[in-house]
Each structure stands twice: as structure tokens, then as C-alpha cells.
């Protein structure tokens, strides 16, 4: 977990083994969930897609923005047309609600 004392916010929660945890909505787990299931489970939320190697460090991913914050889903490689690409990591708090300095980027 990363806490930013300047803003008084937790800006990142990254478990040691994300496959042990699941999302409240959709029951998604890293390593077993597919992009298709993420897009379906979070269809009513704002989805920011980064499918052109622009998610960070040349990766692909999806950020779900909700009223309480955001959830980032990293993808294994490029998304397939049928959206059967595996989710490799789930991070709570990064993305649009954390500044670059808060999330460790500069």
C-alpha cells in the first residue's frame, strides 16, 4: 500500500500475490480473469482503454473509474479480438485518481 501524507490519500494497493484476491464486482482474479469478463462486469462504469502499448512501460491495460476511485487491470500482451486476453495484475488506486508523483512516476 502506498499512502501520500501530503494529500492524506491511499493511492495504491498492490497485494504481494494478486491471484489470492478478487474484485468485489465480478469476482475477478489476476491470472484467471479475461478482458471480456472485466469489460462485461464494469460496463456501467467509465472504462479507459489503453490497448496500444500505452498503459505504462509498453504494456496494455484498462482502468475502471468509479465513484470511489479506480482499478487498473494489466493485460498479458495485446488484446485479442474476442477479448480472451488474460488479466495479469489488478491494482486499486492508480490511474486517473493518483498524480504521477503519488504513483511513483516522474
Residue span of the structural domain in which 51 resides? 2-92
Asked if residue 11 has pLDDT above 70, the reply is no
Q: Kindly write down the DSSP assignment for every residue of the chain, as one continuous string.
A: -EEETTTTEEEEB--SSGGG---TTTT--TTT-BHHHHHHHTTTSEEEEE-SS-SBTTB-EEEEEETTEEEEEEESSSPPTT--PBEEEEEES-STTS-TTTTT--
Report pLDDT digits (tens) over 29-65. 888 889 999 999 999 999 999 999 988 778 899 999 8
Return the residue matching grid coordinates 490511474.
95
Q: Is residue 104 part of a domain?
A: no
Give the whole-number percent of the chain exceeding pLDDT 70: 70
- What does the pLDDT average to over 59-79? 87
Q: Please give the tally of structural domains in the chain.
A: 1
Residue 98 falls within a domain, yes or no?
A: no
Give this prediction's pTM: 0.74
Q: How high is the pLDDT of residue 30? A: 86
Q: Is residue 6 part of a domain?
A: yes
80 lies in some domain: yes
Amino acid at each position: 500500500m502506498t499512502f501520500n501524507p501530503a494529500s492524506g490519500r491511499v493511492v495504491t494497493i498492490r497485494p504481494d500475490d494478486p491471484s489470492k484476491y478478487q474484485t468485489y464486482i465480478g469476482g475477478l482474479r489476476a491470472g484467471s480473469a479475461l478482458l471480456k469478463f472485466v469489460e462485461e462486469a464494469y460496463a456501467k462504469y467509465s472504462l479507459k482503454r489503453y490497448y496500444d502499448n500505452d498503459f505504462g512501460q509498453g504494456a496494455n491495460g484498462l482502468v475502471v473509474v468509479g465513484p470511489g476511485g479506480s482499478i487498473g487491470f494489466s493485460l498479458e500482451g495485446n488484446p485479442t479480438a474476442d477479448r480472451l486476453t488474460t488479466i495479469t495484475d489488478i491494482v486499486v488506486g492508480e490511474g486517473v485518481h493518483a498524480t504521477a508523483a503519488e504513483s511513483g512516476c516522474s
